[in-house]
Chains A and B, each alone.
Chain A
Amino acid sequence: MVKKKKIYLQPTPVRIWHWLNAFGIMTLIVSGTQIRFPEFIHVLGSYKAAVYLHNTAGFVVALSFSLWFFYYMFVSRTMADLYVPKAVDLKSGIIRQAKFYFLTYFLGWDNPHHPTPENKFNSMQKSVYLGIMFVLVPLVSLSGIFLTNVEPLRSLIVMIGGLKLLVGLHFILACCLTAFLPTHIYLATLGHTPMEHIKAMWTGWEETKVEVSEGANKNQKEMDDIYAEQRAA
């Protein structure tokens, strides 16, 4: 039997952060491309406009990152639960989720992970977001802050290997973040309907169809039990 259920998955601060971040990152990609390839890209008008916009968007993204960090760390206090993969995620969760994405999805099986506010991300998402939010975004932001303050921070820049290393790092990390976008947007369409997850990020509410037969949710129940035990511990 299939049952419809609405859950409040994305609280307001998270949605504000997400769209601020999305808008900021898109702006950074376009302005960054113009800054690196000025003779080919002129979409933002003058070079100076692109530089100012890039710096402003970078500031907005750094600010929204702080909002995200503050909310999950100190308000909802769910950072570790949501973003840090547990032993069970690494042992079996990732394989189970990969099997779904690359095999059973095409056979028409249901997603083994059903998001709840306490366990929003599947095992693969946790691992990827951990890398993105705790390594990629902080490093690209930090390198950007250094690049907007080269003269006052020159000694520090020299100490870490020089301006070219910093610029190279900023560029390659930015490319990684850019590469994540098409995958992120595509995966967001893999809900029961293509807009299900995207709507949830706008309204906060996600309508899920839950299969209440014995077998379909057995794995999920097992995972939920393990998470509950680990949280209690």
Chain B
Amino acid sequence: MKTKLAKRILQGVLLVLAVILVPLCGSAMEMDDCLGCHADADMVGAELQIDSERFEHTVHAEFGCTTCHTEITDDHPDDGAVVSATECLDCHEETADQYGHSAHAENATCVDCHDPHNATGLEKMAAQGMNQACETCHETEEVVTMHAEWLPQATLHIAQLPCITCHTDADGYEVVLNITQKQYDGKLSSYSVSTLEDLQKYSDGDDISALIDLNKDDFISLAELRTFNKNPAYAELRIEGMLAPNTASHDFSTHDNRFDCSFCHVSGPESMQTSFLALPEPSGGFTRMAVEQGAVLDALYGTPDFYMTGSTRNASMNLIGFAIICGGFIMPIGHGTLRFMTRKNRKH
């Protein structure tokens, strides 16, 4: 009798464990199962291949494959069923509503701009990469020509700003700094954003952030930036900065206030306080490290290649300039006073 009871209790415990653990094991296994085939282009073809390294770092990966691909069965792909994905707006309702009212909605769906298997927030992107989605439809040359009709230095603006800095609403703006490097060996080479592999060559196996973050406190001081920029060992590397929004809406309209240059160029040094260094990660994305407040306002070595007219002017430079101009008045005032006092001597 006792043995029978014990057997039933054991069966009950096993059942409870099965109810709890099987679904958990199942969902964890499910993504691995999917990626077991879909990470390999030879098995599923390039069109259905998923970069597992990148996908695993997205927020979408946290939900598992079947959250979006609900129709997948255990017999996939042998069942021959066509696998569809859920609508983005099922989760991104607010964004979809905003986007639905924009002119873009008539021309592009979510997946035309975003790869759901490689979708990250702005904080995981190099500022230069923020325009990739736009460039799918908008050719740079055409964009420059269109903007040059009213925008001074159109080529510079288009090359050095993410489109969303002007074409979305944002809570605020920050300067995103990227390490770039020469594209070829030569004094006049252009620069492109360094990859993880590129920077690992300089770090000798150490964490690449240590190239700049010398004391490894996950914070970059102005002194560390200056040291990096003056280090002859890094002569091939430069720090490039871009003004990017800290969040982005999906209305993509042209806001009237962006036609007024003073939206960016009048606010003075206060708006240029916050900056981050974007460092490449193994996933292909970027991780951000906070930079000392106001580092981009440094006269020369903080960010030698980032300057925004009217906004990043340096206070010390202003004082030196003011002193020089005042010096120009010494002769008229000093000599003029003596000239006035001795005017009688010249009446002949």
Contact = CB atoms under 8 A, between A and B. Distances in A.
Interface string A149-160: 011101111110
Interface stretch (A16-24, A115-123, A170-178, A219-227): A170-178
A186 B331 contact: yes
A66 to B, nearest CB: 24
Interface string A30-63: 0000011111000000111001100100000000
A184 B191 CA distance: 45
Contact of B152 (A48, A154, A167, A179): A48
Interface in A171-220: 171-172, 174-176, 178-183, 185-187
Interface stretch (B35-43, B60-68, B303-311): B303-311
Chain A interface mostly helix, strand, loop or mixed? helix
Contact of A152 (B155, B304, B318, B327): B155
A151 B329 contact: no
B166 to A, nearest CB: 14
Given A36-B309, A106-B339, A168 B314 contact: yes
A64 to B, nearest CB: 21
Contacts of A51: 152-153, 261, 309
B137 interface: no
B265 A47 contact: yes
Contacts of A129: none
Interface string B178-203: 00000000011111000000000000
A211 to B, nearest CB: 10
Given A35-B310, A36-B310, A107-B345, A179 B303 contact: no
B23 interface: no
A101 interface: yes
A133 to B, nearest CB: 17
A151 B155 contact: yes
B335 A101 contact: yes
Contact of A107 (B238, B298, B303, B342): B342
A39 B272 CA distance: 15
B267 A39 contact: yes
A174 B317 CA distance: 12
B196 to A, nearest CB: 23
B172 interface: no
B190 A155 contact: yes
Nearest to A179: B328
A152 B325 CA distance: 32
User: Is the interface on chain A under 10, 10 to 19, 20 to 34, or 35 or more residues?
Assistant: 35 or more
B320 interface: yes
Given A179-B327, A182-B332, A36 B304 contact: no
Nearest to A167: B307
A155 B184 CA distance: 12
B191 to A, nearest CB: 7
A164 interface: yes
A102 B190 CA distance: 54
A164 B241 CA distance: 12
Contact of B189 (A151, A155, A168): A155
Contact of B332 (A52, A156, A161, A186): A186
Contacts of B307: 163-164, 167
A178 B323 CA distance: 11
A69 interface: no
A108 B339 CA distance: 10
Nearest to B263: A47
Given A105-B339, A164-B303, A168-B299, A46 B345 contact: no
B13 interface: no
A39 B328 contact: no
A147 B207 CA distance: 37
A148 interface: yes
A165 interface: yes
Nearest to A181: B328
A164 B268 contact: no
Contacts of A37: 310, 313
A131 interface: no
A175 B188 contact: no
28 contacts: A36-B313, A38-B261, A46-B262, A52-B152, A106-B338, A106-B345, A107-B342, A148-B153, A151-B155, A155-B189, A155-B191, A157-B305, A161-B304, A163-B304, A164-B298, A164-B299, A164-B303, A164-B305, A164-B314, A165-B300, A167-B307, A168-B317, A172-B317, A172-B321, A175-B321, A178-B325, A179-B328, A186-B331
Interface of B: 150, 152-153, 155-156, 159-160, 187-191, 238, 260-262, 265-268, 298-300, 303-307, 309-310, 313-314, 317-318, 320-322, 324-329, 331-332, 335-336, 338-339, 342, 345-348
Given A36-B313, A48-B150, A162-B238, 4 more contacts: A48-B152, A179-B328, A180-B328, A186-B336
